[in-house]
Structure 1
Amino acid sequence: MWKKRLAKLWIFVRTHKVRVLVLICILAGGAWYGYTKIKPANTEVKYTTVAVANGNIMATVSGTGQIAEENQVEIKPTSTTTVTSISVKEGDSVKEGDTLMKLDSASATTSIEQAEASFESAQANYNKVLAGTTSAEIEVAKTQVESAQTSVDNAEENYDAVVSLQKTSVSNAYSTLLNSGITSFSSSGNGSGTVPSNTSGSIPATATTTSTGNAIPSSGNTSTATVTISGTYTGTTEGTYKIKITVTDSVYSFTISGLESVTGKLTPDVPVKFGKKGLYLTLSSTGTVVNNSVWTLPIPNTLASNYLTNYNAHQTALQNQNQALVSAQNNIDSAQAQLDQAEAALAQKQESADSASVAAAKSQVVNAKTQLQTAQDSYDNTIITAPFDGKITDIAVKAGDSVSQAASVATIATPEKVVTISLNEVDIPNIAIGDKATFTFDAITDLTVSGSVAAIDSAGTVNSGVVTYTVTLKMDTQDERMKPGMSASASVVTDMSNNTLYVPSSAVKTDTQFLSSYVQVLDSSNTVQKKTVTTGLTNDTSTEIKSGLTEGENVITKTTSASNARNSSSSKSTNSSSNILDGMSGGDMPAGGGPGF
């Protein structure tokens, strides 16, 4: 059936060649299109890098305003404090930098002293790291290692001594326990005088203790002779001796089984050593012995009056041994830990300063210097000086008054031109009186003037929901080309770090999981490494790096990728399709009009 269907299919193909060829081309094209869409193309990743630089970085706040004519400026303190003295009065002419009044400086003086001490300590540590450890310090470290080694040796020797002492103590207590009330008992074969079973380590309440050395004959036992056990049991195994005495023609023999297997002869009233564990057997000459009588000797004798005392003493010896060994081992561990620390400290002192240690010490110096400068600035702010030349028009306080940042303490009028700008409320907390500034002017393109912040309005102005504050800035240079009303742009420096590492801000990323900053570094083998960094100042273009990078490392600022199409594969697939089509043309089929099966 299937051969006939194939034959019909072949006839259809031969009579409709064009349609079949078109259908095959469509199917092949669709397959190739799907292949190129599903299979990913080659992707080449490219990185844009910038080397870590060393230099100065500053944070600034910018604003625009106008040049103003003669102006009156209110002088305000930078903190809430007390006026201690006033050096001017209303109407006095002053020069820039003249002292107007002094504020309480006790707290600021203390801060300076503390900051100076921190800076000196950081500088000394930095110098020490650079110089490396002295030979005297290394010798001290070696002595500490030797002392720690001696402590370990002593602790180990003490441990061995404790082991030996405690072993002897436990052995003696156990020997005493095993020898508790050594005596023989008549067995069940002699009557009812058997030793009761007891595994609890205590004497049964209903049992009768015994401390005699004679056997206890059972009820109805005709043996009247006594068997006495003497000596000291030197074995270390608990168990039982069974003593069987036979009488043949007035000759006494004994057979011992249990802890030891021994046979021998007996002479009344003569002690006979049996076994190898220090015990002796004596048969009395008085009384009679029934043939095959059996006595039992338990080791230890749990019915002895001193058994419980000896048992407790042995348990105490075991506990003391465990506690003593634990304590001795702890002493070894503690001594070894101190030795490890001393050896690590010596190794560290013997190593030369590495770059990471130097960088850390240098960072401490930079931070301490910054803190010192901050403390010095706070102290300088307790001395209120004239921001520029002018005349005192008002003194609003007297010595002893408390003042705050919002209150004016004096007013100064100046004939010099100043620049007034408006700053957003977000920027105001970042600036302070005395901050350095630079000015540029739309009408005088070739002029750049330096200056500083002279005054900051304590009250803002609200316009369309936006709060701004007027800031007055003085200019260090008065140029005759500057006219009142001219537009001016001011850039106020709010913070600065000198001789520090910095990178483009676009290179710094945030790890949201660990709440830390990091950069990607491309090393010499083009391998990308993630490095956690500590950042400092940041401005519109750059970010300070306080730790985590070294100068010259290449940080990645941008990553791009490009896809390459597989043209060669496409060409190969197209050729293959053509060969298939060529193979299906004409009379390549077997004769007879069908497949050659």
Structure 2
Amino acid sequence: MKKIFRRIKNLALKHKIISLIFIAAIAYAGYWGYQKFGANSGQTQYVTAIVRKGAVIVSITGSGQVAASGQSDIKPKASGEITGVYATPGQEAIAGTLLAIIDSTDAERTARDAETSLETAKLELDKLLEPADELTLLQAENSLAQTKESKQKAEDDLKKAYEDGFNAVAGAFLELPGVMTSLQEMLFESTLGTGGQWNIDYYEDAVKAYDEKVSQYKETARLAYQTARTAYDKNFADYKSTSRFADFNTVESLIGETYDTTKDIAEAVKNANNLIQFYQDKLTERKLKPNSLSNTHLSTLSANTGKANNNLSSLLSIQRTIQSSKEVIISAERSTEEKELSLAKIKKGPDDLDIRAKKINIRQKEDMLSTAKQTLADHYVRAPFSGVIAKVNAKKGDSASAGAAIATLVTKQKISEISLNEIDAAKIKVGQKSTLTFDAVDGLSIDGKVTEIDAIGTVAQGVVTYNVKIAFDIQDDRVKPGMSASAAIITDAAQDVLLVPISAIKSQGETQYVEIFDQAIPRNKNGQGIPSPVPPRQQIIETGLSNDTFVEIISGLKEGDQVVVRTINGSSSSQSAQQAPSILGNIGGNRGGSGNRIPR
């Protein structure tokens, strides 16, 4: 062999030019082959999967040992009076045998109510999905028409109120001038005293010697008259300058002004009456005869008081009518807008949000019914597995409570005792199904059910664990006490749901998405990637249950969609090509390619 290599070496040294040409030919062939057959290695390739329907099962795994027959305390999950006990010591009971009943009156009522609520929710959805019938549409149209008529009537009432208000103002100014004239004459003319003394001063001087309070009454009457006179003069001028056909705001302002003026005049009349009545009272107390003209003044003031009060009532009623009509108009406008939208919605039909809300409501009612049925079932205490009743701790009429054993059941079947950490144990419930496998019996799988969970955990080296007992559904003689057992306890499951491989799920912040092809690409059955001229797009999804293999898709995808489960970036192959040693050293330089990286 050494001689052969030595000959080749000598031949190459003697024929250097031929050797170089031969090596160059080999290098060119290798380069051409790479370009021909390795070109696709620079393309991004996709491994895809099809969205399909199936079942997703979530389970918790643990390990332990098989135990020989043991005993288990049968503890109710419900509380209440025991209405029947059907177990006796020594009795053989198969799984599901009724052992006792706890008063279930309330639980039955709750279950019936839950069924009714669910049925009502389904009927509401059915009714929502139905097109609006002729009666509903007609009622909505009539309701809108009535609201518009109410608004029109309120507008007519408001217009009439303004007209009545102007009439009330006009009526007031038929009487108020006479009232003001009589006030001016009885206070500021000289019909009582001598020497040109005003009547108001006469009333004061006549009784001041008897009671100086008369000066306060005089001053109050004088100031009230001046206030009334100022308001009256301005109001009367405004009235004369306002047309009956003035705008509503002007008329409303005039009504309010006249009401305030009338109050001022009524106050002036009252204070003048107080002054003159005080004058008469003080003279009468001293058996002196008042001036007879004071009686005339009091009679006039009494009449003027009635006139002022009548005008006040009329004007106040008008103001309230105007305000009420305005409020009715505003309410009618709001109601009109609301009923227009309601009618449009009836014609359009239910929107997606309403339908989704009704469906969510149905799911909530279904959950409530499921819970109610489970609660009702908890009132019927049954044997969780086959065995022999060893002891009965309760009788009819006793009070049962959750956690207090009603009976003790000795198992004929084998039980697996496994240990779980505190996080997994919190997800385990009595009654959950389990699958058991055994290291010593290859291929054997036995179904079982959780029958007991430790109430208190065991602490070892700072780790808390809980023991869980799982009863076998069937017995197999190959399984011996003390054998190691592995258990997968099913904590949740969903049937006939959309599934995708868990590797297809990506996230960005709190948003989950998958990469999807709108136009399906061919699938390589051997699991190799397939290139696509059009990259996939991101599709936001909502996920449900998941295990180590599949994820439930609640929304965002449909059955048959093609999603990316793995992206093979061509740059990795190109990089390998760059680093491969060349038989010609660095002849021709390095070659490489790159592909698009899909965000993950």
Give the TM bin, normalised by the shorter chain. Answer: 0.5 to 0.7
Partner residue of 1:90?
89
Deviations 1:183-228 (A, max 9, x none): 999xxxxxx999xxxxxx9855799x99xxxxxxxxxxxxxxxxxx
Q: Compute the displacement of 1:155 (Å).
A: 1.7
| C-alpha distance in structure 2 between counterparts of 1:415 and 1:235, whole Å | 109
* Amino acid across the alignment from 1:100: L
1:65 and 1:234, CA in 2 relative to 1: closer, same or farther beyond 3 A?
Answer: closer
Q: Please tell me whether residue 398 in structure 1 is matched to residue 402 in structure 2.
A: no
Q: CA deviation at 1:372?
A: 0.9
Task: Give distance in 2, aligned partners of 1:153 and 1:528.
Answer: 56
TM-score (norm 1): 0.56
CA 1:348–1:496: 2 relative to 1, 3 Å: farther
Question: For the Cα contact (< 8 Å) 2:78–2:375, is it kept in 1?
Answer: no
| 1:372 corresponds to 2:369 | yes
Measured after TM superposition, the shift of residue 386 of structure 1 is 1.9
The residue type equivalent to 1:329 in the other structure is K
Percentage of identical aligned residues = 30
Distance verdict in 2 for CA 1:542–1:123, change over 3 Å: farther
1:493 paired residue number: 490
Residue equivalent to 2:258: none
Residue 294 of structure 1 corresponds to which residue in structure 2?
A: none
Is 1:411 the equivalent of 2:408?
yes
Question: How far did 1:308 drift?
Answer: 9.3
Inter-partner Cα distance in structure 2 for 1:163 and 1:527: 68
Task: Spell out the pairing of 1:113-128 with structure 2 (5 A cutoff).
Answer: 113-128=112-127
Superposed, which structure 2 residues align to 1:304-343 within 5 Å?
A: 320-343=317-340
CA distance change for structure 1 residues 121 and 56 in 2, over 3 Å: closer, same or farther?
farther
One-letter amino acid of the counterpart of residue 116, structure 1? E
CA offset at residue 481 of structure 1? 4.2
Q: CA RMSD in A?
A: 5.0
Q: Shift of residue 173 of structure 1?
A: 2.2
Determine helix, strand or coil for the equivalent of 2:240.
coil
Runs (5+) with no aligned partner, structure 1: 1-47, 186-191, 195-200, 211-231, 239-303, 512-517, 559-597
Decide whether the 8 Å contact of 1:82 with 1:400 is kept in 2: yes
Contact 1:520–1:556 under 8 Å retained in 2: no
Matched, 1:352 2:356: no
TM-superposed CA distance for 1:376, in Å, is 0.9
1:492-512 CA-to-partner distances (Å, cap 9, x unmatched) read 23344556689979768888x
Secondary structure (helix, strand or coil) at the match of 1:357 reads helix
Is contact 1:64-1:422 (8 Å) kept?
yes
**Is the aligned partner of 1:420 residue 2:417?**
yes
Does the aligned pair in 2 maintain the 1:457–1:470 contact within 8 Å? yes
SS in 2 for 1:70: coil
Separation in 2, partners of 1:473, 1:362:
37
The amino acid across from 1:121 in the alignment is T
Distance (Å, rounded) in 2 between the aligned partners of 1:449 and 1:308: 105
Deviation at 1:361, TM superposition (A): 1.9
Q: SS state of the match for residue 372, structure 1?
A: helix
Match of 1:472 in 2: 469
Q: Deviations over 1:299-335 (max 9, x none)?
A: xxxxx98999888877776655443322111011122
Instruction: State the Cα deviation string for residues 269-294 of structure 1 (Å, max 9, x = none).
Output: xxxxxxxxxxxxxxxxxxxxxxxxxx
CA deviations 1:427-468 (Å, max 9, x no partner) are 444333222222334445644433211223344333233333
Match of 1:38 in 2: none
Q: Partners in 2 of 1:323 and 1:145 — Cα distance?
A: 27
Which residue type is aligned with residue 345 of structure 1?
S
Q: Alignment partner of 1:79: what SS?
A: coil
Matched to 2:114, the amino acid is A
Amino acid at match of 2:325: A
Q: TM-score, normalised by structure 2?
A: 0.55
1:171 matched to 2:170? The reply is yes
Corresponding position of 2:287: none
Number of residue equivalences: 408
> Where does residue 135 of structure 1 map in the other structure?
134
Which residue number corresponds to residue 254 of structure 1? none
> Cα 1:446–1:178, aligned 2, differ >3 Å: closer, same or farther?
farther
Summarize the alignment of residues 210-249 of structure 1 with structure 2, pairs less than 5 Å apart.
Answer: 236-237=240-241
Distance in 1 between residues matched to 2:331 and 2:446, nearest whole Å: 69
Q: Secondary structure at the match of 2:479?
A: coil
CA distance in 2, matches of 1:206, 1:350: 67
Letter in 2 for 1:405: A
* 8 Å contact kept, 2:179–2:304: yes
Report how far residue 237 of structure 1 moved.
Answer: 4.7
Cα contact 2:79–2:102 (8 A) shared by 1: no
Structure 1 segment 379-394 matched on structure 2, within 5 A: 379-394=376-391
Residue by residue, what CA displacement relative to the aligned partner does 1:223-280 show, whole Å, maximum 9, x if unpaired? Answer: xxxxxxxxx9997059xxxxxxxxxxxxxxxxxxxxxxxxxxxxxxxxxxxxxxxxxx
SS in 2 for 1:128: helix
SS at match of 1:422: strand
Structure 1's 76 and 149: CA in aligned 2 closer, same or farther, altered over 3 A?
same
Which runs of no fewer than 5 residues in structure 2 stay unpaired?
1-46, 186-195, 199-219, 230-235, 243-299, 519-534, 567-600
Partner of 2:62 in structure 1?
A: 63
Counterparts in 2 of 1:4-83, with a 5 A limit?
Answer: 59-83=58-82
1: distance between equivalents of 2:322 and 2:562?
Answer: 59
Distance 1:159 1:373, change over 3 A: same
Query: What per-residue deviation string (whole Å, max 9, x for no partner) do you get for residues 467-499 of structure 1?
Result: 333221123343454333333232323344556
Distance 1:551 1:355 in 2: 18
In the TM superposition, what is the alpha-carbon distance from 1:340 to its structure 2 partner? 2.6
Given that 1:451 and 1:474 are in contact with CA atoms closer than 8 Å, whether structure 2 keeps it comes out as yes
Q: Map residues 91-106 of structure 1 onto 2, 5 A cutoff.
A: 91-106=90-105
What is the rounded CA distance, in whole Å, between the counterparts of 1:314 and 1:73 in structure 2?
Answer: 94
SS in 2 for 1:236: helix
The residue type paired with residue 334 of structure 1 is S
On the 8 A contact 1:159/1:328 being kept in 2, the answer is yes
Question: Would you tell me which structure has more strand in proportion to its own residues?
Answer: 1
Q: Once structures 1 and 2 are overlaid, which stretch shifts more, 408-417 or 376-385? A: 408-417
1:440 paired residue number: 437
Report the CA distance shift for 1:235/1:61 in structure 2 as closer, same or farther (over 3 A).
closer
115-124 vs 451-460, greater mean Cα deviation: 451-460
Measured after TM superposition, the shift of residue 180 of structure 1 is: 5.5
Q: Which amino acid aligns with 2:432?
A: D
Q: Which residue of 2 aligns with 1:160?
A: 159
Q: Aligned partners of 1:537 and 1:57: how far apart in 2?
A: 7
Cα 1:311–1:237 shift into 2, 3 Å: farther
Between the aligned partners of 1:526 and 1:317, the Cα distance in structure 2 is 80
Give, in whole Å, the separation in 2 of the partners of 1:51 and 1:313: 89
